[in-house]
Structure 1
């Protein structure tokens, strides 16, 4: 625990201008970001007697080891910079909203040649038009099913679409009139895109003109005695009206507004947002957060507005209704107006329909908080108990809030790789995962590999700890950093987010028994690191091994601590296996196709993308190879002859799991998107 007086700025050193400040811990990690219209009084308030501070604020200032600030011209700039830094550094003591559940959205993929209507979750993609979010996926599908009668846009997957084009027959929706069947050429790409754009216009609320146009066409068809066409148009109008009825009118005058409500207690808060467009509730969203800083309702509202509109994925409406106004409110209102390009009315509803609707949003927020606390209580208690059981079993001074686990993977001694996974507070932190290539030697020597990879990880930690003002960037990293920088762009300054191996764990876990633990301990001793606890988890009997001990620590099978260690070990194993299989796949591809005359990198990738695996590529005929764009008959004959002359290798067995890996088998997808980790070289 640090004494705040040791890093308190000198009297008069803090400016009185607007600005943004950062507190860092002893490892240089940013733990809190804040803004102020006058930096001097705000920062001075943190350095008063600890007894006068909020408990969470006191914890923050005693965890920090330094404070720094950046002066800006206006409070609006301070608001923008604060949001950018919170997103970049992910400080542990700032309010961090997370979705209380995964909300589905209706998406139209306008970035494709033949746009597709589908239900999507997660991050927004460029070129895709989104509507929602909705409370339930079935509500989207009911609406889409009604609208497909009028706007027969394709809803099939790319695989089904491709198959229909190959066989020349549409799917069932094409036969029953709920798809225009562009796969078989019933409509041109331009006509199908026009249908998709009309669908988007209708979903966006521009319904009146379209309905009036259909009614005029129905009357004209009836006057011309085209009764079948008139009846079809009548049914289309009825389907559109039923779809519109699913979004009841809640506000008059075609109001566009977002309503935000907050329900909170001393520890947590829930935020609910209703999106009203054209007077109708078009979507709903909810977040929950731990109140890790001393913040009131107005502060929660300000953070929620930053979360909602700061990323640019959500458009700002004319009105934003909130339960409490941020203090001061002018910078937030100016920031929202700048995002919209027009004046935004940020206010508290006082009377009428908007106040009644706000009460409904408030009830939803209160219900969300109650439901979250019911679910979270057991999870939080279980994680805390698991960490405490590990600390007791290993006789640690404190619970291991950061756990790192290493695993070695290879295939019969080839393509040796290692993985490092990180768990913080009992939860996986995938952005901190790292992976290593072991190139110094080949062979089934897990002990030597473990010694090397642990040594490399902590050598990098020592290097980065010695850095003053800039953080080291690996010489060879896979792909760009999260902000688009590549390693050759040079090391980051102290303003950049520290990456790679900057933070040590409280507990280091290795996958293995006594030999692997001894190798890891030897690597730590060689570097002079004695403040990191170490253990190994052997697969055979799930025994926990400690350095220098002849007997293992046996945790009860029902122990939450043992379950957490198993999860950490299994995640490290999964991550290592995925990386090793990817390397093997690349190696096999290079061995099979690189030697084919006249086949360059572009056409190799086109073949693999088209067929999906080498196994299917070997089985392809010359005519099927010619169907790949860029592959002529002469090249197809060369490829077919080259692949048919080689016999497939015998099934390979993974020594880590004992499983047979077939050539060309589909690789398991990661559990969640992962950032490009380190690919070090010796």
Structure 2
């Protein structure tokens, strides 16, 4: 680790303007992104006496090797740039205060001709109205089941709707009057859309007008002595009231607000948020995140930035109620207003109903943190203990904060693939997993030479660390598909391979051949769970109850799962296309064109010569060859009508 004084910029070099800064480690990886009103003031605070810093801040500056910054015109621009950089680089020391769960919403697809009510997760779709989030999908289905008595909106999928239209019979919900059945023209599109709009208004908080309307209709039916209809309306009113009971009224003025509360200690922070729409609590969420070294106002600022930023972010309500204002509350409020398209009130409630609700949310956050600490009391300790044991028992130069594990999967040397999984700080880093298709080598005749596990392991490790050397020298190189910086530009402290001494020696030889000397290599053999070190005749035996052994087992099992999943995908694809393999004149491009045109090998086998000839690149002779190979039919020669000679255009097809 480098001391901060080795890369501290001179005070006169740092501007006093607002901006965003990045700390990089010795491998060029961005490890922290932050923003500041004054870059000079903020950056200078990192380069004081390390002993006076917060322990986590000290860890960050000691892990760094350089710092760079970009000035902007306003604090709002700094917010936007900071968020985009955090999303791009995923720095290790920037905590994700947004939870990684995908909460379900009750969605109504108003953009379709016949709107549909359904459960949706993930990114918001244009033309769809969302209500929630809900804690569980079953809560949405219960709500829908009650509401469909009064608002018989379509809930079926596009396939079910199309099939019902074709056969002229509705689904079960249509028969029991929980769907207006637009698929069989019981109602037209305009009537069904009106039902959907009423349902959306009811879910948005305009509930009283629908209840009063049903009560008037019930009294009218009773006056007309139509007691059967009056009883149905009475049951409909009861269904709506049961839906309303699930969302308590907290504000009488129809407020739309998100209410946040935090409970924290030195290491972690519990977040709770109540989503209030139309004065009713429509959803509740809670999660726990690592606090790192931010103060509570900084946590609030980053929480709002992550929750409402990006395409997948939450919809911003009219009011955002927080326990304490962030340091840059004014610029953050302006940023939220831009996200919403109208003014957003970011404030701390001081009295009244909103303060009472905030206290309720705070109690939930406190209880959530207490439950989490009880459940996770031993987890952080165990992870630290596992890394410390590996450091000591394997005699590593430093604690293996980043570990990569490799495995090979194949069936008798066919469809050979490799996997690379990554653990950082004892936890999986799934975004950095990689898969390899093992190419092998060719013999003198151009045929593929047999591949064994050691040769495959050598190839995979060579490719991985050759890419590391390339990206280390070009730290700004970006992925061709995503445009994001590549993730091979920094090495692990420890490489684990699935296997015994032969696999370990092959991996170590691949790394040494590239001139890399600061990466340790070990192998974990399955049978006796022995740890093999290259060049040693006897394994290192870790205690069966060792946390370090348990971490290596998790790595090995995860790499095996990842490798065998990829192998099965490739094997399944190869088996699907195997009937077309080996047909003379049929290359990969034409094979894909055939499958794209017909959809399956079965349909290709049933196609006529004329239908095969409709595929681009498939000539008459090649079509006959395909028919002969797939069905065993005799080949009809192609005759030149001018000369009477038989024409062989196989060579032409082969050249395509």
Shift of 1:444: 4.2
Show CA shifts across 1:89-140 (max 9, x none). 2222223214386644333455777655444555555665432122344433
Q: 2-side partners of 1:421 and 1:404: how far apart? A: 6
Q: 2-side partners of 1:160 and 1:393: how far apart? A: 61
Q: Specify every segment of 5 or more residues in structure 1 that has no aligned partner in the other structure, as ranges.
A: 486-496, 623-637, 647-682
Match of 1:471 in 2: 477
SS of structure 2 residue aligned to 1:99: coil
Alignment of 1:262-661 (within 5 A): 262-293=262-293, 295-312=294-311, 313-441=313-441, 442=448, 443-467=450-474, 470-471=476-477, 473=479, 480-481=481-482, 485=483, 497-592=484-579, 604-605=595-596, 645=631
Q: 2-side partners of 1:574 and 1:354: how far apart? A: 49
TM-score (norm 2): 0.83
- State whether residues 463 and 472 of structure 1, in contact with CA within 8 Å, keep that contact through their aligned partners in structure 2: no
SS of structure 2 residue aligned to 1:404: strand
Shift of 1:19: 0.7
RMSD of aligned Cα (Å): 3.5
Q: 2-side partners of 1:593 and 1:221: how far apart? A: 70
- State whether residues 440 and 456 of structure 2, in contact with CA within 8 Å, keep that contact through their aligned partners in structure 1: no
Shift of 1:386: 2.5
- State whether residues 454 and 506 of structure 2, in contact with CA within 8 Å, keep that contact through their aligned partners in structure 1: yes
Shift of 1:307: 1.9
Alignment of 1:198-217 (within 5 A): 198-215=198-215
Closer, same or farther: CA 241–472 of 1 in aligned 2, 3 Å: closer
Q: 2-side partners of 1:523 and 1:438: how far apart? A: 15
Match of 1:63 in 2: 63
Q: 2-side partners of 1:4 and 1:167: how far apart? A: 74
Match of 1:48 in 2: 48
Show CA shifts across 1:225-283 (max 9, x none). 76544543443233223212321211121112221111111111112111111111111
- State whether residues 618 and 643 of structure 1, in contact with CA within 8 Å, keep that contact through their aligned partners in structure 2: no
Match of 2:36 in 1: 36
Show CA shifts across 1:2-53 (max 9, x none). 1212212223111111111111111111111111111112112222222332
Closer, same or farther: CA 461–189 of 1 in aligned 2, 3 Å: farther
Q: 1-side partners of 2:541 and 2:532: how far apart? A: 9
TM-score (norm 1): 0.80
SS of structure 2 residue aligned to 1:334: helix
Shift of 1:216: 5.5
Q: Specify every segment of 5 or more residues in structure 2 that has no aligned partner in the other structure, as ranges.
A: 442-447, 609-623, 633-656
Show CA shifts across 1:135-188 (max 9, x none). 344433332221121223454567877887788765544443333456666566
Closer, same or farther: CA 116–584 of 1 in aligned 2, 3 Å: farther
Shift of 1:450: 0.8
Closer, same or farther: CA 98–77 of 1 in aligned 2, 3 Å: closer
Closer, same or farther: CA 149–422 of 1 in aligned 2, 3 Å: same
Of 459-468 and 207-216, deviating more is 207-216
- State whether residues 440 and 459 of structure 2, in contact with CA within 8 Å, keep that contact through their aligned partners in structure 1: no
SS of structure 1 residue aligned to 2:314: coil
Q: 2-side partners of 1:152 and 1:619: how far apart? A: 47
Closer, same or farther: CA 280–44 of 1 in aligned 2, 3 Å: same
- State whether residues 385 and 560 of structure 1, in contact with CA within 8 Å, keep that contact through their aligned partners in structure 2: yes
Q: 2-side partners of 1:278 and 1:416: how far apart? A: 58
- State whether residues 270 and 288 of structure 1, in contact with CA within 8 Å, keep that contact through their aligned partners in structure 2: yes
Match of 1:677 in 2: none
Of 348-357 and 381-390, deviating more is 381-390
Of 547-556 and 388-397, deviating more is 388-397
